[in-house]
Structure 1
Amino acid sequence: MSIIEAIIFGIVQGITEFLPISSTAHIIITQMVFNYSFPGFGFEIFLHLASILAVVIYFRKDIVEVIIGFFSFFGNRSKENRVQFLFALYIIVATGITGVLGVLLEDSIGSVLKTPPFIALALATTGIFLIIIERFVKHGNRTEKDMTFIDAIIVGLGQTLAVIPGISRSGATLITGLFAGLNKETAVRYSFLLSIPVILGSTVLAIGDFTDGTLVAETGVLALVVAFIATFIFSWLGIVWLIEFLKRSKLIYFAIYCFVAAIFIFFYFDANFIMELE
C-alpha cells in the first residue's frame, strides 16, 4: 500500500466512522476506486481502533464517570451512582445483543451484499430512516436517567443491522435511540460509547492477521502508521463536527447525502462492473 493510499483510507475511515453514512460502504467503495483489496479484516479493524482511540480520548471524562459510578454503586447506592450503574448495564446489554446476533448473521452476509447495487440500496434505506426519524417521529426529551432496558434492547437490535454494508452503525444507533424517545444529546452519547466495546470486540476477527504478520507484510509498517494517524485525526474532527452539527442542524442533510451517494454508487460502479463482464 502506498502512503497516499494509506492517507486516503485513513481520511475516509475517520470522517465516515461516526457520521450516519456508513464507513464500511465508503471503505469498500474506496477500495474499488483504487482497485485495492485489503488482506483480510486486519487493516479495516486496525483503522477502527484508531477511531476508537479518538472516542476514548474525547469522551474520557464520561467513560471515567460511568466506570466509577458502576463500581461505586456496589458500596454506595446513591442516585448518581445508580444512574451510571444502569447506564453501564445498558451499554453491556446492547453490546451483547449486537455481538451475539452479529456473529450469527455474519456467515449469512454473502458477497452479493458487498456489491454496488446492494450498498446503494442500503445507503438509500439509511437515508429514508433518517428522514422518518427527523420528520415524522416526535423527538423525545429522555436522558440517561430515564433510560430502561427496553431502550438498550431496541438500540442493540438497531446496531446489529450495521453488519450489512451500507447500513451505518452510528446511524442505526442514533435513529433507534431517537425512536425510543431519547433526546439527541443522550442518543449521540450512547451511540459513541457503544462503539467502544463493539469495535474492540470485532478485533477478535483480526487476531490471526495481527499475530501471523500478514497485516504488516501486505500493507507495510509505514503505511500502517500513516493510516492510523490519519484515521485518528479525522475521527476526532468527525466527532467534534457531528456533535456541534446536531446541536443546530437536522439529520435530513445526512439523508440527502446518502441518496446522492447511493445514486452515484449504483450507476457509476454498476456500469463499470458490466463493462468488465463484457
Structure 2
Amino acid sequence: MSLLEALILGIVQGITEFLPISSTAHIVITSLLLDLPFPGLVMEIFLHLASVLAVIIYFRRDLAQIITGFFAFIRYRSPHDKVSFIFSIYIIIATMITGVLGVILTDFIAESLKTPPVIAISLVVTGSLLIFIERFHRYGNKNEETMGLKDTFVVALGQTLAVIPGISRSGATLVAALWTGLNRETAVRFSFLLAIPVILGSTVLLVKDFEPGLVNEIGIIPLVIAFIASFIFSIIGIIWLIDFLKKSRLIYFAIYCYILAAFVYFYLDRSLIIDL
C-alpha cells in the first residue's frame, strides 16, 4: 500500500467514524472510487485503535471521573459517586448486550450483503432514522442521573444494528438515545463513551486472527501514517460533531446519507462484494 493510499484511508476513517454517516460505507466507497486495495485485518486494527485513542483522549476527564467514581462508590458508598457508578454500569451493560448480539448477528451477515446496493439501502435507513428523531420526536430531558436500564437496553440494541454494512454506529446510538428521552448532551456523551469498549472489543476479536506477516504486506510506514491520520481526523470529527449538534440539526446528515446512497446505488458496480 502506498503512503498516499494509507493517508486517504486514515483521513476517511477518522472523519467518518463518529459522524452519523457510517465509516464502513465511506471506507468501501473510497476504496472503490480510487481503486484502492480494501483495508485488511492489520489496517482495520490500526484505524480502529487510532479512533478509539482519540475518544479516550478527548473524553479523558469524563473517563477519569467515571472510573474514580465507580471505585470510590464501591469502597465508600458515597452518594456523591453514585451517579458515576450507575452510569458506568450502564456502559458495561450496553457493551455486553452489543457484544453478545453483535457476535451472534455477525455470523448471519453474509459476504453477499456487503455490496453497494445493500450499503445504499442502509444509508437510506440511517438517514430516515435521523429525520424521524429530528422531525417527529420530541426531545426529552433525561440525563445520567435519571436514565435507566430500559434506556440502556434500547441504546444497546440501536448500536447492534451497526453490524449491518452502511448502518452508522454513532447514528444508531444517537437516535436510540434521543428516542428514549435522553437530552442531546447526555445522548452524545453516552454514544461516544460507549464507543470506547465496543471498538476496543471488536478490535480484540480481530487480533486473534492477526499474523505478523500481514504487517509486511502493507508496510509499517503506511500503517503508521494511516494511524496518525485516523487519530488526528477522529479528534477533528469529534470536536466538529459536538459543536455542530449544539447549533444545528441531525437532518443535514440525513440529507447527506440520501445523496450518498443515491450515488452508491446508481453509480457503483452493484456486482462488487465487499470483503473487509
Question: TM range, normalised to the smaller chain?
Answer: over 0.9
Aligned-residue offset at 1:208: 4.1
Aligned-residue offset at 1:107: 1.2
Q: Distance in 2 between matches of 1:145 and 1:262?
A: 38
Identity across matched positions, percent: 62
Q: Distance in 2 between matches of 1:123 and 1:263?
A: 9
Which residue is 1:171 aligned to? 171
1:162-201 equivalence runs, <5 A: 162-201=162-201
1:67 maps to a residue whose letter is: I
Aligned-residue offset at 1:209: 4.9
Q: Distance in 2 between matches of 1:37 and 1:114?
A: 16
Which residue is 1:29 aligned to? 29
Which residue is 2:74 aligned to? 74
Contact 1:159 1:172 in 2 (8 A): yes
Aligned-residue offset at 1:147: 1.1
**Secondary structure of the structure 2 residue equivalent to 1:19:** coil
1:74-223 equivalence runs, <5 A: 74-210=74-210, 212-223=211-222
Structure 2, unmatched stretches of 5+, are none
Structure 1, unmatched stretches of 5+, are none
**Secondary structure of the structure 2 residue equivalent to 1:92:** helix
Which residue is 2:60 aligned to? 60
Q: Distance in 2 between matches of 1:3 and 1:167?
A: 29
Aligned-residue offset at 1:74: 1.4
CA RMSD of aligned residues (A): 1.4
Contact 1:133 1:178 in 2 (8 A): yes
Which residue is 1:12 aligned to? 12
Which residue is 1:257 aligned to? 256
Aligned-residue offset at 1:45: 2.6
Contact 2:134 2:251 in 1 (8 A): yes
Contact 1:43 1:215 in 2 (8 A): no
Length, aligned pairs only: 272
Aligned-residue offset at 1:34: 3.2
2:111 maps to a residue whose letter is: S
Q: Choose 21-30 or 172-181, whichever is displaced more.
A: 21-30
Q: Give TM-score scaled by structure 1 length.
A: 0.94
Which residue is 1:43 aligned to? 43
Q: Distance in 1 between matches of 2:146 and 2:226?
A: 40
Structure 1 27/137 Cα, relative in aligned 2: closer, same or farther at 3 Å? same
Contact 2:161 2:172 in 1 (8 A): yes
Query: Deviations 1:99-136 (Å, cap 9, x if unpaired)?
Result: 00000011111122210000000000000010000000
Aligned-residue offset at 1:75: 2.3
Q: Distance in 1 between matches of 2:248 and 2:40?
A: 38
**Secondary structure of the structure 2 residue equivalent to 1:21:** coil
Query: Deviations 1:214-263 (Å, cap 9, x if unpaired)?
Result: 33122100000000000000000000000000001000000000000000
Contact 1:40 1:209 in 2 (8 A): no
Query: Deviations 1:63-119 (Å, cap 9, x if unpaired)?
Result: 000000000001222333110000000000100000000000111111222100000
**Secondary structure of the structure 2 residue equivalent to 1:108:** coil
Q: Distance in 1 between matches of 2:113 and 2:5?
A: 25
1:82 maps to a residue whose letter is: K
Query: Deviations 1:19-62 (Å, cap 9, x if unpaired)?
Result: 00000111112222233344643311320110110100000000
Structure 1 37/105 Cα, relative in aligned 2: closer, same or farther at 3 Å? farther
1:42 maps to a residue whose letter is: V
Contact 1:22 1:166 in 2 (8 A): yes
Query: Deviations 1:154-203 (Å, cap 9, x if unpaired)?
Result: 10111000001100000011000000000010000000000000011111
Which residue is 1:247 aligned to? 246
Contact 2:28 2:38 in 1 (8 A): no
Q: Distance in 2 between matches of 1:34 and 1:113?
A: 22
Q: Distance in 2 between matches of 1:204 and 1:233?
A: 22
Q: Distance in 1 between matches of 2:78 and 2:150?
A: 23
Contact 2:42 2:215 in 1 (8 A): no
Q: Give TM-score scaled by structure 2 length.
A: 0.95
